[in-house]
Amino acid sequence: MQIRDAGIPYGFGGIARIGEGRVPAERIIPEHVRLGSSCVILSRSFCHIGNVTKVSSQQAQSFQEGVWRIRAYEQQLETMPVEWFEQNRLRLVDEVQAITSEIQQQKGMLS
């Protein structure tokens, strides 16, 4: 990957909290690891704060807990073999294709 090889930090997104999301964070995070990403975009639902202008201590704690769970999952991934990451990539592709097909079918019904 040219960006990684050039030493430019990069990332992509977005991810929900561990255990949540239409495309599970547990599928996307390994792709970040596999591709050498150094950052991620968190989904709007990550902290469940909506349009709040002032963040409460409970919301801040929820955010910190969510990030901690991501970091713990990243540590688990450090022990996974290369083959596991390829299997995850293939499952992720299948899940995204299924969601894409579902959206296309829904649009077809609305037309």
Number of domains in the chain: 1
User: What value does the mean pLDDT take over residues 38-57?
Assistant: 75
* Cβ burial, residue 29 (10 Å; 0-12/13-18/19+): buried
Percentage of the chain exceeding pLDDT 90: 50
The string of DSSP codes covering 8-42 is ---EEEEE--TT-TTTTHHHHHHHHHHHT--EEEE
Residue 50 confidence (pLDDT) above 80: no
Per residue in 54-106, pLDDT (tens digit) is 767 887 888 899 999 999 999 999 999 999 999 999 999 999 999 999 999 88
The pLDDT, as a whole number, for residue 102 is 93
Residue 52 confidence (pLDDT) above 70: no
Cis peptide before 14 (omega within 30 of 0): yes
Inter-residue contact 70 to 39 (CB < 8 Å): no
User: What value does the mean pLDDT take over residues 11-21?
Assistant: 88
The pLDDT, as a whole number, for residue 48 is 67
pLDDT band for position 107 (cuts 50, 70, 90): confident
Percentage of the chain exceeding pLDDT 70: 91
Domain containing residue 57? 2-110
